[in-house]
Amino acid sequence: MINLETPRKQAGLVDQAHQLAMNMLRPISRKYDRAEHDYPKELDMLAALIDGVSETGATGGAGAGGVRRDASAEDAGKVRNGANLASVLSIAEMCWGDTALLLSMPRQGLGNSAIASVADEEQLERYKGTWAAMAITEPGTGSDSANITTTAVKDGDHYVINGEKIYVTSGDRADSVVVWATLDKELGRAAIKSFLVRKDNPGLKVERLEHKLGIRASDTAAITFTDCRVPAEDLLGSPEIDTKSGFAGAMATFDNTRPLVAAMAVGCARASLDLTRDLLDQAGVVIDYDRPAQAQSAAAATFLRLEADWEGAKLLMMQAAWMADNRKPNSLEASMAKAKAGRVGSDVTLSCVQLCGTLGYSEAELLEKWARDSKILDIFEGTQQIQLLIVARRVLGLSSAELK
C-alpha cells in the first residue's frame, strides 16, 4: 500500500534538491528568463553534482527508472519506493527554484525518460550518460501522436528518417534526440517507434529556436531530418510491429514522463503559494488553518482553496510514480496526475498573481514569471483535453476509436 509521506530514505535527496533550488536556481532565475536562449553555464557544476549522486545509486539518473512491466519474482509482493518516486519529489523541489532551468540541465532531458521506459538492457547501458531531447510534435500533428508522419524506412543495417519535428525541448543543447517515427503509415499506431539520433548525425538539422511565453531559459527547437541514416541498433526496444499491442510501447514513455511534468507543475505552484503566503502575511492577511474558510477574509479563503487543490495534485503525482516503481500499470494515474497538476499549476500561479495585486503583476517578484512558466506544463506531454480524454477511455473501458 502506498504511504503518502516522503519516504525516509529519499528525504535527504529531497532536501538536497531544495537546497540546490534555493541557492543555485532561484538566484539566477530572472537573469536567464531575460537572456532567452543563453545557456545557463552555472548548470554545468550542478550537473556534475547530480552525476555524483547518481553514481552512488541514490537516484535512477535522468528521467527516473522508466515504467517497466516485467516485475521479477523476487520483487513480487514487495513495496518499493524507487527511482520514479525519487525523481518526481526531487523535480518538484527543483522547479520550486526554476522550471526552465530544470529543463535545461545537462543529461536530464525528457528523451532520457523515453530511453528508460522503452530501451532494452543493452541499450540502457550503451546510452548511459547521454543527454536526450524528445521529438514528437510535428507541424501538422500535436496532441494526436498516432498521426505522426515522420518516416523511418529500413535500409540494410540502418533506418532512413525523413520528417520535421517542432517544439523539441533542449533540441539545440542536447547531444542526442529521441525521434518518434512510423515504420509503416498504413499500420497506424502499432508502427510508431522511437529512435535515438545523435546530433552530429548527417541529415539532422536544427532549423531554429522558438521565442516563447515562458520557460525562456530552456531552448525549444525545430528540427528537420533529411535522409538521416540511423543504425538499426538505435531503434529503442523491439523493431517488431505488434498490431495487438498497438501503441503500448510508445505510451510507456508517456506513463513515465507525465508524472515528471506533473511534478514540475507541483513545484512551480508551490513556489507561488509559498511567496504569496509571505506577501499576504506582510499585508496583514491572516490565514488561519483552525477556522473554516467561510469565516475568514476572501483572500485567505481563496488561498486555502488553492492550497487544497495543490495538495490533491501532489498526491496524484506521487501515486503515479509509486505505481511505476512497483511495476503496476499506471497509464490512468499518469494521465490523472498530469491533468490535475497541469490545471492546478496554471490556476494557482495566476490566482497568486491576482491575490498579490501590483506585486504579482510586476517583475519585482517572480510571481508573474511562474504564471508564464506554468502554462506549458498544462500543454506539453499531452494537453489537458487529451489527458481528460484518456482518463474517460480508461474509466469507461472504451477504445480510442470508440471515444474520440
Q: What are phi and psi for residue 231, nearest 5 degrees?
A: -55, 140
Q: How many CB atoms lie within 10 A of CB 70?
A: 6
DSSP 207-272: EEE---SS-TTS-EEEEEEEEEEEEGGGB-S-----TTTTTHHHHHHHHHHHHHHHHHHHHHHHHH
Of 241, 103, 227, the residue nearest 185 (C-alpha): 241
The residue from 93, 164, 365, 381 that is catalytic is 381
In this structure, are strands 220-231 and 158-169 parallel, antiparallel, or unpaired? antiparallel
Burial of 295 (0-12, 13-18, 19+ CB in 10 A): exposed
**Quick one: cell of 180?**
518518434
3-state secondary structure of 377: coil
Examine the residue annotation and report whether 363 is marked as an active-site residue of this protein: no
What number of H helices and E strands is found in the chain? 13, 7
Q: Cα separations (Å) of 246 from 81, 114, 187, 251?
A: 30, 17, 9, 10
Q: Annotated catalytic sites, by residue?
A: 381
